[in-house]
Chains A and B, each alone.
Chain A
Amino acid sequence: MSWLCLVEYDRAESRIQLLITMASSCTQLCLQCRRFLCSKTVASTWQYCTQVRHCIAITRVPTKILNGSFIIKGNPTTTQAKQRWKQQMFCYSDLAAKHLATQVKEDKGVEEVSTAEVVPYKSPLLPIRDALLATESQMSLDLDAAAKFSALEVISDEEAVHISVPSAIPPASTSLRDYVDKSETLSKLVQLGVNLWKLEQRPNVGSMLLRLNFNTDVAPRLLFLKEIGVEDSRFGYIITHNPFILTESLEHLQSRVNYLKSKKFNSETVASMVSRAPYLLNFSVKRLDNRLGFYQQQLNLSASSTRNIVARLPRLLCGSLEPVKENLKVCEIELGFKENEIQHIVIAVPKVLTANKRKLTQIFDFLHNIMKVPHNLIAKFPQVLNSKYLRLRERHLFLEYLGKAQYDPTLPNYISLDRLVSLPDETFCTELALATLDDFCLFQKTL
């Protein structure tokens, strides 16, 4: 073994000298590049570097770098079999270490020059070297070595496993369509009924979904939702509307559900709330508490009726409070309802709180000023505030044309507001207007 080492030693030494000259030529190139940044040499040096890199990546010939100094060992035994080369490698590296120590002493001057010269050349190769340090392999600049491993050579299974196959998925795309068949997460989401087409139109959602791992990210949250009682068929709806529930941490989700349960929402209610307002679990406990407190205080409601409205319209806990405050002010000042009337309206139809305030005033204006319905009757049938303006108008005008528009409960032939707006067209015609649907249709064309 010792004689082999000696031979190797000699060879290595000669190799180092050769390399030093090569490196110095490279540094000259690098210095040149500094001066003429835009000249052709830049391109050529870079080409050279990339070539080296390429060669490293393809041949994967073992390299060894020690103590940060730039020692590149060639592979003189190109004709030797690979197995043998591997055997040698261990003693070779030991020897190289020793050799380095002695060499530093022997010709320090040369070494210093070489390292100094090498430093600027290092920079482009640095990231690769770091990577290769970890693999403890050796690098060769001998370009002939690249030719050694042709595509036809038999490689062992272990090596084959480590060859990374570039995947066929495009690096960038405007649509999730290109990724669906490749990505497990996306295909599972499609099978759940998630509308990816809607999601990809939202900024950053597509790349977020692609980065998820089905088993570690998606499945636990779906299991969590199932555990709190959400129906399987609602998963698609929930994720379509709130994909960010997949990135929320499980502890947070659990703590929010616990909070809702601590406020005496029973578990079925929580499940139905979550499935109807998908963003509910993305808000912090503090925010949820804030909302609940607001509704209870602002409307002077009891705890149970607050729970009742929130359970019927869980959207109230998700949205902003400003429009709600505005609507309450509109009801109070513009429409002139009393406080207990507002309370009654909200308990009966919580949607009034999130309705468009222009639509609300338009309907109220028609009800109060044209149909002459007093406030207390409107408060008694708050469902009319939730109906469509056009529908209300054409029905009222039809009844008025027939002489049946009589909304006072104390007089005969009374028509309740509730029935006026909630009945479908056919029953409205037959029961309230006592006319046929065709007549109603013809009447609409005279408006």
Chain B
Amino acid sequence: MATPAIRMFRRLEGLFCVYKPSGVHWKLVRDSVETNLLKGLNATSSQPLPQEVRFLAHPVSETEAPKGLTLSASSVPVLSKHPLVTGPEFQHIRVGVGHRLDAFSSGVLVLAVGNGNKALNDLYRTRVTRDYTLEGEFGTATDDFSHTGRVVERSTYGHITQDKLDKVLAMLQGANQKALLMYSNVDMHSQEAYEMAVQGLLGPEGKSQPILTGLRCIRFQPPNFTLEVQCLNETQKYLCKVVHEIGLELRSTAACKGVRRTRDGPFTLQDALTHHHWTASDVIRAIRQYHSKRNAKYTHTQIKDTALQPPEESTT
């Protein structure tokens, strides 16, 4: 028979996402979620102690006194099953982390509990794209491409206009489209490639270089600008480097002020739990919500897939 804690754990198994604040390592996020979940699990009401019949003698003499003077059968709780002796029922649970976020960046971080780890692996085996917003600032270049690094170069940015920035972004996106076709391992002159491209399924299998499938400027107030990026197989360091290269391409310099992930596969900002909500009850709700959403959308996956990747359609 399952104890309340086990039943609660069954409801916890699955995928959910949290909002990682910047300046915190993802391991710390994972560990604090795990401790919160353990706290919630072990706070559930424990089983009553099993009873055991024992022959109790006089309190003075030993339990197995010879003459059977005052032996009396009585039922006492088995203390070796007491929660203070056995320890909490759950001492660790498997919490898996999806695509990582480094300490500098913030945003949606996918976590999986228990059996959800399998689903997590399956999720990342399909080609998932991620959305980021990048905050950039013209005028400085730093050694680690972020605004906190050591400044290695300063430059002017008065000549940069939104047109010029868009031109550079379009060029960068074109180069990445070419890379996408190159990594997709299909002959470009075949019917197969045509059909895949029509469905928007062209892309790298498994590991590849980082590929930006979409790039757009959503705010331009020199020296600050904000980019929206869709990408595959990226790291946050690479995105910072992209900002740096855009600066160089515009005959200026740029440093990345923030990397924020707004979507990871099917997980969006709306689903993400902020750090006040990293408790067992909120996680259970988030997991149930994800399940119901996925079941509802399961029939429309084809449509959703093509809709999610508009840039690929444009190449065909």
Contact = CB atoms under 8 A, between A and B. Distances in A.
Given A180-B80, A441-B274, A197 B19 contact: no
Interface stretch (A28-36, A187-195, A274-282, A375-383): A187-195
B303 interface: no
B21 A190 contact: no
A154 interface: no
B66 A160 contact: yes
Interface of A is mostly: helix
A181 interface: yes
A425 B275 CA distance: 12
A441 B282 CA distance: 14
Interface in A204-262: none
Given A197-B86, A390-B21, 19 more contacts: A160-B66, A161-B66, A165-B64, A176-B85, A177-B85, A177-B86, A180-B82, A181-B79, A187-B79, A190-B82, A190-B85, A194-B84, A197-B87, A198-B87, A441-B274, A444-B21, A444-B274, A445-B19, A446-B260
A162 to B, nearest CB: 10
Contact of B272 (A165, A196, A445): A445
18 contacts: A157-B67, A176-B85, A177-B80, A180-B79, A181-B52, A181-B80, A186-B79, A190-B79, A197-B84, A198-B87, A441-B274, A441-B276, A444-B21, A444-B274, A445-B269, A446-B260, A447-B106, A447-B260
A390 B24 contact: yes
Contacts of A180: 79-80, 82, 85
Contacts of A160: 66
B19 A444 contact: yes
A186 B78 CA distance: 12
Interface of B is mostly: loop
Contacts of A425: 276
Contacts, number: 56
Contact of B84 (A165, A178, A193): A193
B22 interface: yes
A161 B69 CA distance: 13
B288 to A, nearest CB: 19
A404 to B, nearest CB: 21
A10 interface: no
Given A390-B275, A445-B272, A157 B66 contact: yes
Contacts of B23: 390
A145 to B, nearest CB: 25
Interface string B1-29: 00000000000000000010111100000
7 pairs of A and B residues whose beta carbons are closest in the complex: A197-B87, A180-B79, A444-B274, A177-B80, A180-B80, A196-B85, A195-B84
A438 to B, nearest CB: 11
A394 interface: yes
Nearest to A163: B66
A407 B136 CA distance: 29
